[in-house]
């Protein structure tokens, strides 16, 4: 369960509803929560910590991040700052250890060498001390992932989080899965909806995708709706079909969203039947046709000199 929606990324969350959603997620079998100080300048971590308070600690996996701290503030990946950030996250979450700690959006570093030489070793030190259990990083540009993993010492990185590269119009994560496996690195795939682009509501005004991609996504959404199919359902099912992904991460903030997404996930895994299977198959074919000319199109992010 991703918690960026709990940090005002997609509007102001209803805290009571969000807490109920966390409990519902656990009851339905979700055991992995991903958050970050950046989500609402710490508010998502606090809300998640409240929601997890009464759940058995040994049955939940909590992942948070370091490096980006609040919208509008510069990133800081220095060893001292990320070490302090872990302490701050522990306090907000109400935990005495963090299962997974990730460097948040490595492409925003002044230099990717800083991530390799300073940031990740500082987190590895905390791993050795038992403050965190696994160390990783996240980002958008996949070439930054290979740059870091090709230069980092073996065993330094346990996991990576990729987003918007396992979606209806971007499959660029998939060819890299054997590479990550060869490095002994687990993969978290996030944002099946491409940050809201493949949802009923469509993308927010701030979405950075090029205009032709946004227009194609809107056309795909209309085509699915014409067949009575939610484009978000297609996005989830297309993404979950990818082999070699350890965790499929979805942002949710209401009980209704949790129930729908869990049901969709079970259908995608073949553990439940879809009453709309035929309509979904037809809609998926039409959506692929609409998006065919806009496949694997991403957007620039982070510091330009970090694009290897």
Give 208's DSSP letter. -
The DSSP 8-state label assigned to residue 59 in this structure reads G
Which one of the listed residues 10, 39, 69, 147 is annotated catalytic? 39
For strands 247-249 and 32-34, give the pairing: unpaired
Between CA 172 and CA 170 the distance in angstroms is 6
Judge contact between 170 and 162, C-beta under 8 A: no
Residue 10 annotated to the active site: no
Q: What's the helix, strand, coil split of the chain in %, to 5?
A: 45, 15, 40
Angle, CA of 278, 283 and 289, to the nearest 5° = 135
- Count CB atoms within 10 A of the CB of residue 178: 10
Give 39's contacts (C-beta < 8 A, 6+ positions apart): 3, 4, 6, 7, 8, 9, 45
Cα 292 to Cα 270: distance, rounded to the nearest angstrom? 26
Residue 275 and residue 46: Cα distance in Å, rounded?
38
Strands 247-249 and 186-190, sheet pairing: parallel
> What is the Cα–Cα distance from 139 to 156, expressed in whole angstroms?
17
Q: Which residues are tagged catalytic?
A: 39
């Amino acid at each position: 369960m991703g918690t960026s929606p709990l940090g005002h990324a997609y509007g102001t969350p209803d805290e009571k509803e969000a807490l109920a959603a966390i409990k519902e997620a656990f009851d339905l079998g979700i055991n992995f929560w991903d958050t970050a100080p950046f989500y609402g300048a710490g508010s998502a971590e606090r809300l998640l910590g409240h929601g997890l308070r009464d759940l058995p600690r040994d049955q939940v996996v909590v992942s948070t991040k370091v490096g980006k701290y609040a919208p509008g503030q510069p990133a800081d990946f220095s060893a001292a700052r990320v070490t302090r950030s872990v302490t701050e996250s522990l306090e907000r979450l109400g935990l005495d250890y963090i299962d997974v700690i990730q460097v948040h959006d490595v492409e925003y570093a002044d230099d990717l060498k800083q991530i390799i030489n300073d940031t990740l070793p500082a987190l590895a030190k905390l791993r050795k001390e038992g403050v965190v259990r696994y160390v990783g990083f996240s980002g958008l540009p996949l070439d930054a992932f290979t740059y870091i993993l090709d230069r980092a010492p073996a065993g330094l990185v346990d996991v990576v989080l990729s987003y918007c590269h396992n979606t209806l119009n971007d499959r660029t994560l998939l060819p890299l899965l054997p590479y990550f496996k060869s490095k002994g690195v687990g993969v978290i795939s996030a944002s099946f909806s491409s940050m809201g682009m493949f949802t009923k509501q469509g993308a927010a005004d701030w979405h950075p995708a090029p205009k032709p991609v946004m227009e194609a996504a809107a056309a795909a959404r209309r085509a699915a709706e014409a067949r009575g199919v939610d484009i978000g359902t297609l996005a989830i099912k297309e993404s979950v079909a990818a082999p070699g992904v350890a965790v499929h991460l979805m942002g949710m903030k209401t009980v209704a969203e949790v129930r729908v997404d869990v049901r969709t996930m079970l259908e995608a895994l073949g553990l439940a039947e879809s009453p709309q299977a035929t309509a979904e198959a037809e809609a998926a074919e039409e959506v692929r046709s609409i998006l065919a000319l806009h496949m694997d199109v991403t957007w620039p992010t982070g510091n330009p000199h970090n694009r290897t």
